[in-house]
Amino acid sequence: MKANELKVEDFLSANKTQFVIPVYQRNYDWSTGQCEQLIFDILEIGESKKRNAHFIGSIVYVHDGVYTASRIKELTVIDGQQRLTTLTLIYLVLHKIAKEIDDEGLVNEISETYLINKFAPEEEKLKLRPTDNNDKALKYLLRSDANEEFNSFSKLVDNFNYFKSRITKENYQLVLVGLSKLMFVEISLDREKDDPQRIFESLNSTGLELSQSDLIRNYILMGLNPRDQKKIYQNYWEIIEQLAKEETLNTSRVSDFIRDYLTLENKKIPNKRKVYIEFKEKYPTSSLEVLESNLSDIKSLVRHYNKLINPKNEADKEIRLQLEYINRLEITVAYPFLMKVYEDFSNLIIDKATFIAVLELIQSYTWRRFMLGIGTEGRNKIFMSLYDKVEKENYLSSIQKSLLQRSGVQKFPKNAETLEALKTKDLYNIKSKNRIYLLERLENYKNKEYVLIEGNENITIEHIFPQNPDAKWKVELGNEQYNFIKDNYLNTIGNLTLSGNNGELGNKSFIEKRDKNKDNKEQGYKYSRLWLNRYVKDLNQWTKVEIEKRFELIAERFLKIWELPQIEITEDTENSEVSIYDAEDPTGKKLEYAIFFDQKLEIREVAKLYTEVFKQLFDLQPETFFTSDLGNRIGLTKNPTKGNPRQPIAINETYYIEGNIDNNNKFDRMKQALTLFDFEDELTIKYAEKQ
């Protein structure tokens, strides 16, 4: 490795040199704010009589001894492409201004010194050779006749236009002076002696904001020669990046996809911040053939992942609808399992009916648990190993059996407890997408003509007994029943319906809402063709009795939509190892063991687990205890005095925490800490069997 302080203009003016941005680099994505700061610094030092230098970071490159046929030296940039590209855009703006003021000397100086290799053939002329998606934009900006519009979105074009608005004929000379004072550290690597990947990781750890997928891409491609880099990128990684994208928001989900893939392969859920590390351990550097084999498996599953996050890409209408439901409920923790089921459907191992039945089963399991208010933490561990329970000859029933065998907080809620929760649950003040999901599925059960509610401005959710009732309601119902409905049933499913005339019906009395027919537009319930209004349209009053009767009708329909599988099961004792978030009330219970950071702890008492968890967390990241309210919550102190904290427990030689709290509070504090550290998946327990 060689490191030198160097002027930016000296680096860029190197003769017969091309700066190559390899395919494994992330896309150019400097924001307007970053461009604004750079041009501010350049103008400031351009005006300053005192400052002769201004450092802007480092440029790290590898020279593999590669020369083109025209003897152009290729430098592979592994860190600094964002700054290098942005500086090129500034020189392009200066080049344009030089043309406008007819300064031919400056035009040639900028062009032949900083932008092109004058005597190189056309394909090697640009000094900066970006990745393919940016190459067209850069060539467009360099053309002298570039007055036409650039047809696709490009951050290069956006930032060029920003600099064009900031650099003018009045200040361009200050910009030139400022550029002449810019310095950076030039770091040249020798692939035979240095380890570019290790150096890249070190740079990333000191502040380069790369995603887990960026790091994985670099790890896969950086060690390959340029020809193999292009082959692997185009045949595998580029396809993975394109498919693992949430298309509506144009958001990359590659890191999430790789995490799900590793979960499926390792039967262990990687921490979100350690996906890259887990990937390296799973796939150590190997030959091109092995790399292609590994990436081929990943690429085959990403096609199914694409449809899970973008249901519109599924051609089959019935399957697409179920995927949209799962997407709406955000059951992302089931993706590792569902990718494999999708693959089986794609390979004709299961038929369409079985695939749809599995998708509906996952919804039933999730939606019933939601009705009971069972937390979502730890669900990923349920789906992590669910595919292992699949018996190909009894595909659906084996999955049903596995879910029905779950007990405690992992249970598949039974009909009675589900309906009991459904009857009184506030379903109006939940997430809008969940509320719409419930009503849309209820409305459309076995409907030949589907009623779309999601995104339909003509249909809104209506309270039959209004949120702010007209005074007539109290007169008709009497104080006691009026108050009972308002306090117990207002936002429940028995009182909620759908209407295309919500604004018209408003707070009016029940009969007025039923018979509303202003201007012969049939706004009232009696004219509605919706199933949810079928019972209501013929009633003469809306009391507690009618609400409960309507609930019974809805409940019957609910159980047909979100079915409980009807198969014989025995309790599964193997699945009693659960996330602490899903564990039952620890009061009066003993532990058989716990698993923390993949290490089995032979601990019987909750108090000992509590101590061990905080010992390890404090040892791992002590500053977090002082920069959040966690330290106060657990009574962290150096100097325990009598009664403060109560029953102090030492977590190292210096610090103590409070120990005089019950097991429920110990669980609550451990969960708070794990959530704060983003370690929700790192602690599981198994209760000891009762003696």
Give me the pLDDT at residue 583, please.
82
Same domain, 161 and 230: no
- Do 402 and 424 lie in one domain? The reply is no
Distance of CA 269 to the CA centre of its chain: 15
Segment 274-303 shows an average pLDDT of 90
pLDDT on residue 611: 94
Claim to verify: residue 37 and residue 173 sit in the same structural domain: yes
Better pLDDT: 152 or 346 = 346
**Mean pLDDT computed over 662-670:** 92
Tally of CA atoms within 13 A in the half-sphere of 65 that contains its CB: 3
Share of the chain above pLDDT 70, in %: 92
Q: With 0-12 CB in 10 A as exposed, 13-18 as middle and 19+ as buried, what is 49?
A: exposed
Candidates 94, 80, 113; CA nearest to 177 is: 94
pLDDT at 125 over 70: yes
In a shared domain, residues 167 and 25 = yes
* Residue 203 belongs to some domain of the structure: yes
Are 154 and 57 within one domain? yes
Would you say residue 218 lies in a domain?
no
Does residue 360 sit in the same domain as residue 443?
Answer: no
Task: Determine how β-strand 182-189 pairs with β-strand 54-62.
Answer: parallel
Distance CA 392, CA 394 (A): 5
- Asked whether residue 262 falls in the same domain as residue 400, the answer is yes
Based on the fold, state whether residues 334 and 393 are members of the same structural domain.
Answer: yes
The confidence band for 207, taking pLDDT boundaries of 50, 70 and 90, is: very low
In a domain, 478, yes or no: yes
Return the higher-pLDDT residue of 145 and 222: 222
Separation of alpha carbons 65 and 43, rounded Å = 37
Helices (H), 123-253: 132-142, 155-166, 172-180, 196-205, 212-222, 226-232, 238-243
pLDDT digits (tens, 9 = 90+) for 48-71: 877 677 888 778 888 765 555 567
The answer to the question of residue 161 being in a domain is yes
Q: pLDDT category, 208, cuts 50, 70, 90? A: very low
What pLDDT is stored for residue 574 in this prediction? 47
The answer to whether residues 406 and 434 belong to one domain is no
Distances (CA, A) of 494 to 76, 490, 535, 547, 553: 66, 8, 11, 5, 9
Are 320 and 387 in the same domain?
Answer: yes
Two tokens, residue 361: 């089963």
Domain hosting 515: range is: 420-561
Please tell me whether residues 113 and 198 are part of one structural domain.
yes
**pLDDT given at position 502:** 55
Is 271 domain-assigned? yes
What is the predicted pLDDT for the residue at 532?
95
Q: Residue 566 falls within a domain, yes or no? A: no
* Same structural domain, 250 and 365: yes
Angle 619-622-624 (CA atoms, 0-180°, nearest 5)? Answer: 135
Query: Is residue 220 domain-resident?
Result: no
Residue range 499-506: average pLDDT? 68
User: Are 270 and 260 within 8 A, CB to CB?
Assistant: no
Sign, Cα dihedral of 106, 108, 113, 116: positive
Give the model's confidence band at 154: pLDDT under 50 very low, under 70 low, under 90 confident, else very high.
confident
**Which domain-ending residue is among 410, 434, 450?**
410
Handedness of CA 663, 664, 668, 669 (dihedral sign): negative
Look at residue 599 and tell me if it is in a domain. Answer: yes
pLDDT at 545 over 60: yes
Q: Which residue has the higher pLDDT, 263 or 570?
A: 263
Give the total number of structural domains in the chain: 4
